[in-house]
Chain A
Amino acid sequence: MSKAAETDRPRAAALYESATKIYPREIEGRFAKLSKLATYTLLGLFYLVPWLMWDDRQAFLFDLPARKFYLLGLTLWPQDFIYLAWLLMALAFSLFFFTALGGRLWCGFACPQTVWTEAFIWMEQWTEGTRSQRMKLDKAPWSWDKLRRKGSKQLLWVTFSLWTGFTFVGYFTPIRQLGVDIANLDIGGWTLFWGLFYGFATYGNAGYMREQVCKYMCPYARFQSVMFDKDTLIISYDEKRGEPRGGRKRSVDREAEGLGDCIDCTLCVQVCPTGIDIRDGLQYECIACAVCIDACDSVMDKMNYPRGLIRYTTEHAMQGGKTRILRPRMFVYAGLLTILITALVASMATRTPVLLDVLRDRNTLYRELAGDIIENAYTVKIINQSNDTRDFVLAVQGVEGLTLDGVDNPVTVRGGDVLSMPVRARTHRDNAYGIMNITFSVSAVDDENVERVNDSRFLGPTP
């Protein structure tokens, strides 16, 4: 039951009257609670995660200048980009899966646009009051009260947006240091710029654009219908039960009057954040936030009618059939999702945390040294992707008698460091002729499974 519904007022017709005074977010109910929970959880995660520490560094940090991503104990390098690509694909398929199953759950409860909009609406309520108070306030001429209310709303919005921008930048710059820098008014130009950029985007999107973003700008909102079938959960008005709609006193026997269950209070329309009438059928503007269900249920309770005139249902169920959850589409999405996640986990688990990069010196083909020795020069990069310092052995093979000069095996590379060194490969003239393929290899002393190879070429005189 909504708060407004509990207030004293004349019965019957008043129900229709009071409806206009109820603002969406004052509707309480199962789905309003769920959406509140989702908002708290998701925003809580967003604002807290950058403050988490792992050993002595930030647990989640996307260090762009150093070109390293830290995720808990894991350090990802640009070479690991494939994992990110797979992760994004896995996320896309989860979205498909949940959309086919539960409809626009994403839009209604998890999308940042929805979540931040909700938070901004709360702030609007704290400062400007209920729906009707706000409507009145907007129409009223400027006064001290209006200025105070509007001003404090803006103050809250702007502060919240700035904090959001700060948090966003905190994912890319160590947030604790950033906090100190801001306190000392000593922040870099770009850091400041991106913080303000993200803050302003939040302010505009959640404060002003709101559901217009879903209606006009969101590609997902337009194409999500292709993932729908007759067994997808949708929010729907039960037309058979509701029509013919019409206002009536609570004492009226609706069957005798030939009325359906819909009392046409238009509460469902007023609470709708996208301003549609759910009774007109499924529309793409519907983001499935389910507040109309809460609104209608509260009215049904008051009228002593059964709940569910507007409810989560499926097209099959509406036509009197049964909803099938296990259908081919679900297996396909779930199968692809499982494959992607398994591959991602497996490849990360078996990731070799060392990279070898060999670049042949292009300036000279080869050098002839005393004693009929042929020498080629290379630049070798050993990248230790693990977090610990490690010893590596660098070796080369592919040509008889090939030895390395300039390497003092084993070489030590600190965790997360790149060791770049000039290296010369030598062999006797009898073994070297034309272009020959050789293979460099690097292996960790403490773990022989940690090994990488890199192909290169060895040039000798052409006979």
Chain B
Amino acid sequence: MQEEYRGARRWSRNQQAVATVVWISFLAASVATMLFFALFDPVELLATVDIEVGSQTGYAIGFFFFWVISAGCSAVTAWLVRTAPKRKKT
């Protein structure tokens, strides 16, 4: 617990990657949720596939659906970028 040496404390590259992926996909999911549910009512939408839920559950399902999708996308992208073969200097 070296809270006071905040400036000196640096995150490892893995910590950075995880934090960035989680946070940026959270933002993306928030925007997607807002846009999507401005157009569709979750209760009506889920009723069309015979799922009966309250609106709060509907919104939550939507949000986490978007978060999982965007987090997965971010994570794969980050992983591919970080593990790409290094270009040899000629």
Contact of A273 among B6, B19, B38, B60 (CB under 8 A): B6
* Cβ–Cβ contact A275 & B6, under 8 A: yes
- Complex: how many Å from CA A23 to CA B8? 15
Is the interface on chain B under 10, 10 to 19, 20 to 34, or 35 or more residues? 20 to 34
Number of A-B contacts (CB under 8 A): 67
Q: Which residues of A contact B16 (CB under 8 A)?
A: 216
Q: Which residues of B contact A211 (CB under 8 A)?
A: 6-7
The stretch among A130-138, A234-242, A387-395 that forms the contact with chain B is: A130-138
* Cβ–Cβ contact B20 & A138, under 8 A: no
Complex interface bits, B12-39 against A, C-beta within 8 A gives 1, otherwise 0: 0000100110011000000000110111
**B55 at the A/B interface (Cβ < 8 Å)?**
yes
* Cβ–Cβ contact B4 & A138, under 8 A: yes
- Complex: how many Å from CA A209 to CA B2? 12
Complex interface bits, B29-73 against A, C-beta within 8 A gives 1, otherwise 0: 000001101110100000000000011110110000000000000
- How many residues does chain A have at the interface if contact means C-beta atoms less than 8 Å apart? 32
* Cβ–Cβ contact A190 & B57, under 8 A: yes
Q: Which residues of A contact B3 (CB under 8 A)?
A: 124, 134, 138, 208
* Cβ–Cβ contact B38 & A65, under 8 A: no
**B1 at the A/B interface (Cβ < 8 Å)?**
yes
Within 8 A of B (CB), among A131-156: 131, 134-135, 138
**A212 at the A/B interface (Cβ < 8 Å)?**
yes
Contact of A138 among B1, B19, B41, B54 (CB under 8 A): B1
Output the least CB separation between A125 and chain B (Å).
Answer: 11
Complex interface bits, A200-217 against B, C-beta within 8 A gives 1, otherwise 0: 000000001111110111
Most chain B CB atoms below 10 A, which of A64, A78, A216? A216
* Cβ–Cβ contact B38 & A216, under 8 A: no
* Cβ–Cβ contact B11 & A216, under 8 A: yes
Contact A210-B6, Cβ < 8 Å, known A190-B56, A190-B57: yes
Where the two chains meet, the residues of A that have a C-beta atom closer than 8 Å to any C-beta of B are: 23, 64-65, 67, 78, 81, 84, 124, 131, 134-135, 138, 188, 190-191, 193, 208-213, 215-217, 219, 269, 272-276
Subset of 18 A-B contacts with CB under 8 Å = A64-B59, A65-B54, A67-B41, A78-B38, A84-B34, A124-B3, A138-B2, A138-B3, A138-B4, A209-B19, A213-B23, A217-B20, A217-B24, A269-B7, A273-B6, A275-B5, A275-B8, A275-B9
